[in-house]
Chain A
């Protein structure tokens, strides 16, 4: 056996000799690279990747493993680019036996010294640190020595990974621009990957050659490789913007997803290609489908929960109520259970899959048509629907179907009402996994608008004070946010105090908050207030700004233009209704003009109106954003809408003493 192994090793070394050649030599920057003063295509760049080369291939040395080599040369123009010299490389691990290994870490800095001569300074291997970050991640960290303005840093490393299902993706784009970035993927014909390119830029090079019998699986089993080269030149820096979803959705990168492979014994493994096979796999998966089948576990536990619920909908609500109050989520995402639903239920805690598969199983045990929905959260990015792979998904929720109506449920949040999923889940589409049907896509949307209504019934008193009642009604995510704020306070009194603190000159005399625990209903706050608005009313003219509530004093959008969509997750609506009674000795000299603005394509509107009836002013304001996503070409309109809101809210009501 030992002999055989060494034979294979020799063979391998021979057959992979070609792979050792990197396309650019290490530690030999060119004259032009030394001379480069700034990057002409982006003169604002603090640093630029001059050249970058990566390659990945399946090694068969002992066991199947995926080898990834990375080599990069970066020019640093000024010290704002020094962060490029602080490198952190993530390694995955499962346990003490299955983990990624790094080797051949090498680095060098070329810098101009005090006399302007170019010197080189190697990376000290003793200054390369391995941080055992947590159970699943290690970090390799190092800082390149001797960074100066105009220096060139170069480093390379090799990672050997047992996770062959995760063929390394390649990011052509990063936070600094790249002049040239190339990736060589050498894939033996026994592996079949689906390859996809994300992002707006085109490949400048895309070639493939067949390498004869490059792969030796042992025992005389050989296969050809396709060596695919992908390259991009002049890739701009990726700049993150506010209100956007995962950068991975927009970043230019190449992704590889294993669809099938053949073992050296000729056995074909289909990893993922068609939903039918995923369905089969998930249904029988120990940490997914099998968990859903454990519905009997809940039978006796739910008897009392559903005892007073005659209809299926009431039953479902009762179960949801019970389950989302039962669990304390450990903040870990995933589509596979960590503890299994039984242990999770008994321990009151678990990851997303533990909790939501338990919810689904509980629903099933009560005879309700329930399915699990796999999804990718906003921070995880979008799913590649052409080549489905389960590793794209990082979250699972539950879907129940009652009387032709379906409801999406997530029991990780005790404060969300039945049918509303957390905003992190509102990301395009999810895949419904049923125990007895083929899987299918479903839109992930907030089931209700984020809605806020402020009503104010106020009187301006002779002594300059404004007294009256104000009420806030919040539903959808607005209600959720309110409930979270209340929960963070140690008592309701403290919550009310915090509100009072936010409004200078306002005193809350009495407060009443209802529906805190009735999650299906909007949360309703009513406050009796007193505002010390004016020291007295012995003035000819009084200026009063009616925008007491929901005032937008600054435009949240400051960029002249955007490259990526504004994504709010849910449409929203805010209404302000105010009635102000003022002393009869005053009349209105002027008031803010009526405003009515609409976004194109029914995107939303802003309406503001003030009417007068004797000594009563009626004020109405509506801000409606009807879309959850606004594309970059809609951005100027959105920005202008906010500009106009800010502007219109500056105008006062002018009261004049009658003569």
Chain B
């Protein structure tokens, strides 16, 4: 009897899915524009059965219109011991909506999913790519995943890549009446629908008919213009831990009490060592600097993420013994060392990366953030430490974590803090060079460059390398023909506002070309703008400049007597809200002075200014290629 029932169930399922129309002709025409793939229907169901038993069920149908959309057909499922795949299957349909192939879990490739920056992680991934050779085709798949935790839920992002249109996508979240879900809609035009059914609460979201987006350079964070819904629990279970939080204050407290507390115990010998280290130093900040440098010298970054270790640091004693750790481990260790000298510090969660991203101030979730830094709350002198870099100066964060909101986990609870911001004029690169040109076009001279602010580490690839290696890098950085580096000095002035100083003397054979009695001298051999900003019509996003900077170059060319300036390119001066550029040439007897300033101002500008930005970069590219024409007397 059971068998028959089962068979009926299967047939019912099959015929239900069979009723869906996956013919490509059924896609609304408006959605085909610029689309390489169209999500036909996606239904995501998250069901909380109990805090340590959550089921994810997704059924998704996606049509691939051309080979450019092939990546969208790839089914990728991450799993680990705490998140198990229960079922997984799919069907491929042809253009007319007829099933042509089936696939199941055994057809998936199974691999470890260790990030390339990590030594070890316990996550795994199953990947499947349908073998489809004619377009269009549709892949329909469904899976069930069982997660034994309710600490975090994946965010719902109905469309997450460019070139993908969407017909319909929905999310349903089902939980017991006692479970309180926090949710935040971003760029969602409707309201969440809430229903009750017996002893369950049901939340639903749905989007329909979203045309494909194009990648637009200088766009703000995708979260600013794409639809998403973030989910988080109020109370949860995770690997044997139970807890609750509904705002950052509570989250920080929970983090501190459950994952950090007691991780700061150091061996007595180390505590004594720290005390000795700072005994003769009077002020706390100098003490902190001494301890930080001790930590930098002793440790190195090695990432190992296993289970709860993804959220919880290695105990300080382990880092002390091994002299390595990941960001969590090294920050926690530094905290412990500082504590031994009675200096208070905060473990801070941040979204790291050159692209600035705040911790969402109004939505507390453990999904936010991907890195840990340390904050020293000195009165009126809050100091920040990056603990995974052996060389970064004390108190300096650089572009990896500058100017953004972070969450400090303190014994009094979480606090939202802001990391220091660098203005465009602080992110300076200043270069002065003197060149001597010979009659046959060879160039020799000296170049002195200062790097400051977020440009401080522009040329750090040179640091600590033997001269032979440095020369290799310099020939890439300064692409002059047959570049011969005679001397290089590369030094760091490590203050809170650090400066890198680079001094080079060099020669370059046949730098300027001689042809029919004329010599063509490129005026800007060192700092050409390489960025090409493509023209684009009907832009939808505003122009966003993530971070400003200022480059200033001054080159003085000493010309041989036999060469006279015949043609002098006009000066270029451009002033725009988002930046300024000038390149001026002054000829004074046998001396030619080239002066170039390029500044980009961070900010968000109306999309109507995009064509100006395109032209800005075009004009700069052109001006950077300006040549002086010299006539041989």
Contacts and interface: CB of A to CB of B under 8 A. Distances in A.
B513 A654 contact: no
A498 B302 CA distance: 41
Interface stretch (B393-401, B515-523, B556-564): B515-523
Interface in B80-106: 101
Given A488-B67, A651-B520, A330 B629 contact: no
Interface stretch (B19-27, B411-419, B471-479, B601-609): B471-479
| Max chain A C-beta neighbours (<10 A), residue from B273, B479, B520, B522 | B520
Contact of B133 (A326, A502, A559, A648): A326
A30 interface: no
A330 B128 CA distance: 10
A135 B518 CA distance: 66
A362 to B, nearest CB: 16
A127 interface: yes
B131 A648 contact: no
A80 B469 CA distance: 12
A325 B133 contact: yes
A488 B119 contact: no
Interface stretch (B107-115, B145-153, B280-288, B368-376): B107-115
Given A135-B110, A145-B323, A147-B300, A347 B101 contact: yes
A86 B629 contact: no
B535 interface: yes
A327 B101 CA distance: 14
Contacts of A593: 515-516
A82 B391 CA distance: 14
Interface in A474-513: 487-491, 494, 498, 500-502, 504-505
B465 A80 contact: yes
B67 A487 contact: yes
Interface string A137-177: 00101110111100000000000000000000000000000
Given A325-B133, A501-B532, A643-B482, A79 B390 contact: yes
Contact of A643 (B34, B481, B517): B481
Interface string A75-100: 00011101000100000000000000
B532 A502 contact: yes
Interface string A11-44: 0000000000000000000000000000000011
B516 A591 contact: yes
Given A78-B464, A82-B300, A646 B532 contact: no
A548 to B, nearest CB: 13
Main secondary structure of the interface of B (DSSP, over half): mixed
A214 to B, nearest CB: 39
A239 to B, nearest CB: 10
Given A146-B322, A147-B323, A490-B34, A592 B119 contact: no
Contacts of B532: 501-502, 504
B226 interface: no
Interface in B297-318: 297-298, 300, 302, 304
A275 to B, nearest CB: 35
A558 B513 contact: no
Nearest to A651: B515
Interface string A508-534: 000000000000000000000000000
Interface string B119-156: 11000100001011100000000000000000000000
Contacts, number: 151
A131 interface: yes
B627 A543 contact: yes
A399 B110 CA distance: 34
A145 B323 CA distance: 6
Nearest to A489: B68
Given A131-B120, A133-B111, A654-B518, A490 B322 contact: no
Contacts of A114: 273
Interface in A59-113: 78-80, 82, 86
A491 B68 CA distance: 9
B69 interface: yes
A145 B515 CA distance: 62
A656 to B, nearest CB: 11
Interface string A540-568: 01010000000000110011000000000
A347 B107 CA distance: 11
B453 interface: no
A647 B112 contact: no
Contacts of A141: 119-120
| Max chain B C-beta neighbours (<10 A), residue from A488, A498, A647 | A647
Contacts of B322: 121, 124, 127, 143, 145-146
A491 B110 contact: no
B321 A121 contact: yes
A650 interface: yes
A414 interface: yes
Interface in A625-659: 643, 646-648, 650-652, 654
A567 to B, nearest CB: 20
A650 B510 CA distance: 11
A143 B510 contact: no
Interface in A322-378: 325-328, 330, 347-349
Contacts of B465: 80
| Max chain A C-beta neighbours (<10 A), residue from B469, B475, B481, B629 | B481
A646 B483 CA distance: 14
A652 B627 contact: yes
Given A487-B67, A490-B34, A504 B618 contact: yes
B487 interface: no
A146 B627 CA distance: 55
A121 B510 CA distance: 56
Contacts of B120: 129, 131, 141
A124 B34 CA distance: 55
Contacts of A391: none
A330 B464 CA distance: 43
B133 A348 contact: yes
Interface string B521-539: 0100000000010110000
A491 B66 contact: yes
B321 A145 contact: yes
A142 to B, nearest CB: 8
B629 A504 contact: no
B114 A131 contact: yes
B302 A143 contact: yes
Given A135-B110, A146-B322, A558-B476, A652 B520 contact: yes
B385 interface: no
A121 B320 CA distance: 11
A538 interface: no
Contacts of B469: 44
Contacts of A330: 129, 131
B450 interface: no
B567 interface: yes
B481 A646 contact: yes
Contacts of B112: 131-134, 139
A143 B618 contact: no
Nearest to B535: A501
Contacts of B390: 79
A146 B518 CA distance: 62
Contacts of B483: 558
Given A490-B65, A501-B535, A347 B131 contact: yes
Given A134-B111, A146-B322, 17 more contacts: A80-B464, A121-B321, A141-B120, A143-B324, A330-B131, A487-B67, A490-B66, A490-B68, A491-B34, A500-B535, A505-B618, A543-B629, A590-B517, A646-B481, A647-B510, A650-B513, A650-B627
10 nearest CB pairs, A to B: A349-B131, A501-B534, A44-B466, A490-B36, A129-B120, A328-B131, A651-B515, A490-B68, A145-B322, A146-B323
27 contacts: A82-B300, A124-B321, A129-B119, A131-B114, A143-B302, A146-B323, A147-B323, A328-B132, A348-B133, A414-B133, A488-B67, A490-B36, A490-B65, A490-B69, A501-B532, A501-B534, A502-B532, A504-B532, A541-B567, A559-B472, A590-B516, A643-B482, A648-B515, A650-B520, A650-B522, A651-B513, A651-B515
